[in-house]
Amino acid sequence: MTCAKIADKTAIITIAIALALYPLLRGGLDLWSQALVQSALFGGLALWLAARALLGEMPDFLRLPAVPLLACGAWLLAWALSPAPGYCREAALNWIAGAAALYAAAMLDNHTRKSIFGWILLASWLMALFAIYQQLRGQPAAALFFNQNMFAGWLALLIPALLARGKWFQSALFFGVLLLTKSRGAAFALYLTSIIYLVFRGGVVKKSAAVMLAFAGGLVVLHMNTFSLAQRYSWWQAAVELIKLRPLSGFGPGTFGYAYATVHVPGSARFSTTFAHSYSLQLAAETGLLAAALWLGWILYRTVKTRRAEKWSITAMLFMSLMDYILVTPPNFLLFCWFLGMTCEQPRTVRIEQRGRRFLLTAAIICTGLAGIYAATLDHKADIAVLRAKAFFDSGDTIRATAALQKASGEYPQNPRAALLLAQADELQAATNRAFLSKSAVDYERALRLDPFRPASYDSLAKIYERLGNAALAAGVYERKAQWIKWWNPPPQKPR
């Protein structure tokens, strides 16, 4: 039993470190940081549940909310039905990690939640101080995030929860740092949240303050960057166009930046983008309308129903995510899900008396945790293999690049980046050795099966078929391009 209690404490510390560490690792931008945090989270949660099983005191899973689990199932289904499943793993794992954080917060007691929140605040203090240092040096106040908006989103999650707890000094400090980020979206989201809070929580004085805040918020809107808003509107239109193309299953988790090429006309007024800059629209475009409605509807339900301080953080983030991609970034999404879990009622404890059942349950939990850790590290391993091969490719060593890419494609057959680089390497060698033309055509066909959204791949494959003297196959490639790339028109057929 002593070992089980030690494992219990170790698991809680691991979960706390995972949540606090994420924003300190370059804002979760790199796959290695995502793999590290997800492994710690999956491992920590599995270790905690295994310790509970050994002690014979398991939380009643039937009392936990079912909708996040159903949403995960819908996301996995969208991954399975995606035309580019190789791009879905990263986003799907981030969502599963979010669901794990949500359920962990729901199962842990209030004392443990408070301890973990302390770790999160410690990390936030470090980032706030670093952001002030950056500002003094004349650098953007982004802390360790990859841009200022993402850091502002993290602060916008914390400030309402701190205010609702009466932590005025910390709230004032974090709000001051938020202003250094110059994020209008975060400031406006906090304005709207404050108005709603004052309207629902107070008498005449507070409602008068709400009117004043509403007026101040109107001034913020008038001074917003109209060019930025116009670009966002064009990206929202693109998201709606993608939703119309696949309304039920979507294009797959994390594929918006790639599927965007099917509706984006190069050289148009609409800029290229990786995100829709609207969480709800991007979610619907990637996973379908039903999955998005299920997840967002449950979030709204929990926000309205709960009386906990976290409801105001969730409200602020929902406002901010209407016009930005805050919730697409892993650290913010993980903290958002943690706050969501804290709004859920802690399930009662179920006693397991039979020792045999305890050991079987413990073994099953540990195996599930190990499977999660393996899945979390797989993308990072593939990324390392592709980057190593790309280094050879960029240096002009096409022979070693081809060998490395063939190995990477064999080990990770669903990786579209490895398939594309291999096709490009073979095409480069075909310039001096015609024998590589056929192989390059085969590789480009495989690359297009894994990523049908890239217009240049169709052009390269069609030109290879033309060099091979097969005009019919080249015409077929252009027909496939017209099916996927909606803004493109096939060239007129040459008269025979």
**pLDDT higher for 272 or 284?**
284
Domain end (from 306, 333, 356): 356
Report the range of poorest mean pLDDT among 131-140, 238-247, 408-417. Answer: 408-417
Q: Is the pLDDT of residue 453 over 50?
A: yes
459: Cβ–Cβ under 8 A, 6 or more apart, which residues? 481
Residues 429 and 334 in one domain: no
Residue 251's pLDDT is 93
Q: Is the pLDDT of residue 243 over 50?
A: yes
Residues 346 and 229 in one domain: yes
Question: Reduced to 3 states, what is the DSSP secondary structure of residue 496?
Answer: coil
Is the residue at 365 inside a domain? Answer: no
Q: Is the pLDDT of residue 225 over 60?
A: no
Question: If pLDDT is split at 50, 70 and 90, which confidence band does 232 have?
Answer: confident
Mean pLDDT over all residues of the chain? Answer: 84
Question: If pLDDT is split at 50, 70 and 90, which confidence band does 346 have?
Answer: confident
Is the residue at 235 inside a domain? Answer: yes
Residues 405 and 339 in one domain: no
Is the residue at 372 inside a domain? Answer: no
Report the range of poorest mean pLDDT among 2-16, 99-113, 446-460, 469-483. Answer: 2-16
**pLDDT higher for 242 or 492?**
242
Residue 407's pLDDT is 86
Domain end (from 332, 356, 380): 356
Residues 118 and 18 in one domain: yes
Instruction: Give the containing element (helix H, strand E) for 57.
Output: strand 57-59
Residue 222's pLDDT is 44
Domain end (from 298, 332, 356): 356
Is the residue at 172 inside a domain? Answer: yes
Residues 94 and 223 in one domain: yes
Rounded Cα distance between 333 and 141, Å, is 21
Residue 209's pLDDT is 52
Range of the domain at 229: 2-356
Residues 269 and 131 in one domain: yes
Residue 166's pLDDT is 81
Nearest to 78 by CA among 272, 253, 326, 306: 253
Q: Which of 282-291, 378-387, 418-427, 438-447 has the highest mean pLDDT?
A: 282-291
Residues 24 and 140 in one domain: yes
Which residue type, as a one-letter code, is found at position 2?
Answer: T
Report the range of poorest mean pLDDT among 57-66, 86-95, 333-342, 485-494. Answer: 485-494
Q: Which of 13-27, 260-274, 287-301, 348-362 has the highest mean pLDDT?
A: 287-301
Residues 147 and 286 in one domain: yes
CB 25 within 8 A of CB 33: yes
Mean pLDDT of 246-266: 88
Residues 316 and 402 in one domain: no
Report the range of poorest mean pLDDT among 300-304, 306-310, 392-396. Answer: 392-396
Nearest to 264 by CA among 276, 251, 279: 276
Residues 324 and 203 in one domain: yes
Span 153-188, pLDDT tens digits: 999 999 988 888 888 888 888 988 988 988 888 888
Count up the domains in the chain and report the number.
2
Q: Is the pLDDT of residue 191 over 90?
A: no
Span 39-77, pLDDT tens digits: 888 988 888 888 888 888 888 888 888 999 999 899 899
Rounded Cα distance between 242 and 263, Å, is 8
Q: Is the pLDDT of residue 203 over 90?
A: no
Is the residue at 145 inside a domain? Answer: yes
| Residue 271 in tokens | 């800029």
What CATH number did the domain enclosing 439 receive?
A: 1.25.40.10
Is the residue at 419 inside a domain? Answer: yes
Residues 351 and 441 in one domain: no
Rounded Cα distance between 316 and 342, Å, is 16
Is the residue at 490 inside a domain? Answer: no
Residue 422's pLDDT is 86
Is the residue at 115 inside a domain? Answer: yes
Residues 252 and 400 in one domain: no
Span 363-403, pLDDT tens digits: 999 999 999 889 888 877 888 888 888 888 778 777 888 88
| Residue 408 in tokens | 């990477």
Question: If pLDDT is split at 50, 70 and 90, which confidence band does 445 have?
Answer: very high
Instruction: Give the containing element (helix H, strand E) for 59.
Output: strand 57-59
